[in-house]
Amino acid sequence: MSIADQALTEDLASRDDMIVCTGVSKWFDDFQALKGVDVTVKDREVMVVLGPSGSGKSTLIRCINRLEVHQEGSIFVDGIELTNDTRNIERIRSEVGMVFQQFNLFPHLSVIDNVTLAPVWVRKKSKVEAEQKAIELLERVGIPEQAQKYPGQLSGGQQQRVAIARSLAMEPKIMLFDEPTSALDPEMIAEVLDVMKDLARGGMTMMVVTHEMGFAREVADRLVFMESGEVVEVGTPEHFFTNPREDRTKLFLSQIL
């Protein structure tokens, strides 16, 4: 039995696999950033990835929508394997949304144009339809009144919420978050986390890299702890925060809590 399976509750075990990483390895020239990572994310599961800086968390989730190319092992997203196949890449990218630490909004486009860009050009929706949907999404993340502004005119928290709306506009099945609150001032973190909690409650499959332990404890179905490119431990929040098995996990948690 692998460490991944031990942690599966009965409910989760019965669900479909959304993301399956098997033996994923990744090198940056001569530096190996991922060393045979095995992770499975189930449908409607919220998985939080923890680990010290440089442990390969970002690299892992960036491999999942092919911002980085893994070199060994296999990654399946919703049953589609990530290979050099252009068609698979296109399909996976339009099914997986991603939110970045630095928001990465398009500064030359207004908020509404940021949100409608992908539906119009990738999903080939009509402009009107896309805008309706965009307004809806902006309402959902709580900033409908900012639609005509430019990203530079928004606060960090607002920008990150626009970024989430932008990803949601593609109607993804999976959302990846790479430290979405790390670049925010403390008073704005809550507003972004609220939106994420909302999403999780709505049944979105999510993989979240974060250092917000409160969020992890409250929302996560499972946590993954990584160190130097390896998965050290997988488990439920309860397991993690009460009695983690590995010493390395204990050390990390004692530092961060």
Partner 1 sequence: MSQTSSSSAIHYGTTKPPLWRNVAVLKWCAQLAVLLGVLAVFWFLIAEARTNLAAKSIPVGYDWLDNPANFQLGEGIQTVDTPERSLTMSRALWVGMVNTLRIAALGIIFSTLLGVLVGISRLSKNFVAQRFSSAYVEGLRNIPVLVQIILWLAILGSLGKLTPDTGPIPGWVIVSQKGISLPRVFLADGFYQFAALMLVFVVGIVAVRRQLKRRQDRDGGDLRIGLWTFVLFVISAAIAWLINPIMAFLGPIFGAIEDAWGAVPQGAMQLLLCVIAVVGVITWIRKFLDSKRSPAGLAKLTDDDWFRMIFSVFVGVVAVFVVVRGWPGLSSWIINSGSDFWGVLGDKFGDGRGAKPLDAMRPTLTEGRFVNFGDTGLTLTVFYASIFLGLVFYTSAFIAEVVRGGILAVPSGQSEAAAALGLTRAQALRKVVLPQAFRVIMPPLGNQYLNITKNTSLGIAVGFSEIVQVGQTVYNKNSQTLAVFSIYMIFYLSCSLSISSVVNTINRRLAIVER
Partner 2 sequence: MSDVTMTPTSPSNGASNRTSPLQWVRVNLFSSVSNTIQTIVFTAITLGLLRALLGQAFSEEADWTSVSTNLRLLMIYNYPADQIIRIWVSAAVVLLAAGLSLGAWKVEPGYTVGRLGRHLVGLGLFSLVTRLLLPVHAPDTVRTWLIIIGVVSLVAGVVVQRGDPDGDRVMGFGTVLSGVALTFLAVLWLVPFGQYGLVDGVLVAESGTTVASSTKVPWTVLLIIVVASHRVGIILGRALGRSLRAALAAFWVVGPAFVIFVILRDPAFDWAHVWSTDIPIAAMFGLGGAAVLYFVAAPGKTEVARAVGAMLFAFALFNWVAAFFGWYPMLQKVRISFLIFAIVVLLVPAFAGDRSTRRRVAGGWVAAMVVFHWLLTAINTESTLVITAPPFLGGFVLTVGIAYYVMLASFPLGVLLSLARTSKLPIFRVMSTGYIEVIRGVPLITVLFFFSIMLPLFLPKGMGISDLAAVFAGYTVFSAAYMAENVRGGLQSVRRGQYEAADALGLTTVQRTSLIVLPQALRVSIPNLVGQAIAVFKETSLIAIVGGFDLLRIANSTIPNQPDFLGQKRPGLLFISLVYFVFAYSMSKSSQRLEARLKDAQAR
Looking at 52-60, 127-135, 166-174, 249-257, which segment touches ligand ATP (CB under 6 A)?
52-60
Looking at 12-20, 50-58, 236-244, 246-254, which segment touches ligand ATP (CB under 6 A)?
50-58
Residues touching ligand ATP: how many (CB under 6 A)?
11
Q: Which two tokens stand for residue 225?
A: 């702890």
Q: Out of 7, 46, 48, 76, name the contact with partner 1 by CB under 8 A.
A: 76
With binding defined as CB under 5 A, does residue 146 bind Mg ion?
no
Backbone angles phi, psi at 199, to 5 degrees: -60, -45
Calpha distance 57→129 (Å, rounded): 36
Q: Out of 58, 159, 160, 167, name the contact with Mg ion by CB under 5 A.
A: 58
Q: What is the CA angle 98-20-205, rounded to 5?
A: 45
Q: For the stretch 150-160, what's the b/e string if a residue is b when 16 or more beta carbons lie within 10 angstroms of its beta carbon?
A: bbeebebbbbb
CB of 138 closer than 8 Å to CB of 162: yes
Residue 58 interacts, among partner 2, Mg ion, partner 1, none and using kind-specific CB cut-offs from 5 to 8 Å, with Mg ion
90 vs 185 by CB, closer to partner 2: 90
Report the candidate in 1, 58, 47, 15 with the shortest Cα–Cα distance to residue 179.
Answer: 58
With binding defined as CB under 5 A, does residue 158 bind Mg ion?
no
CB of 23 closer than 8 Å to CB of 38: yes
Q: How far is the CB of 178 from Mg ion (least distance, A)?
A: 6
Burial (CB < 10 A; 0-12, 13-18, 19+), residue 25, is middle
With binding defined as CB under 6 A, does residue 180 bind ligand ATP?
no
CB of 19 closer than 8 Å to CB of 40: yes
Q: Out of 54, 202, 203, 214, name the contact with ligand ATP by CB under 6 A.
A: 54
Rg from Cα positions in the chain: 18
- Chain Cα centroid distance, residue 30: 27
Q: How far is the CB of 68 from partner 2 (least distance, A)?
A: 10
Calpha distance 169→185 (Å, rounded): 26
Residue 33 interacts, among partner 1, Mg ion, ligand ATP, none and using kind-specific CB cut-offs from 5 to 8 Å, with ligand ATP
Looking at 18-26, 55-63, 132-140, 196-204, which segment touches Mg ion (CB under 5 A)?
55-63
Q: How far is the CB of 53 from ligand ATP (least distance, A)?
A: 3
Q: How far is the CB of 35 from ligand ATP (least distance, A)?
A: 11
Which residues of the shown chain bind Mg ion in the complex (CB under 5 A)? Answer: 58
Which residues of the shown chain bind partner 1 in the complex (CB under 8 A)? Answer: 2, 4-5, 8, 13-17, 20, 22-23, 25, 27, 29-32, 38, 40, 69, 71-72, 74, 76, 79, 81, 83-89
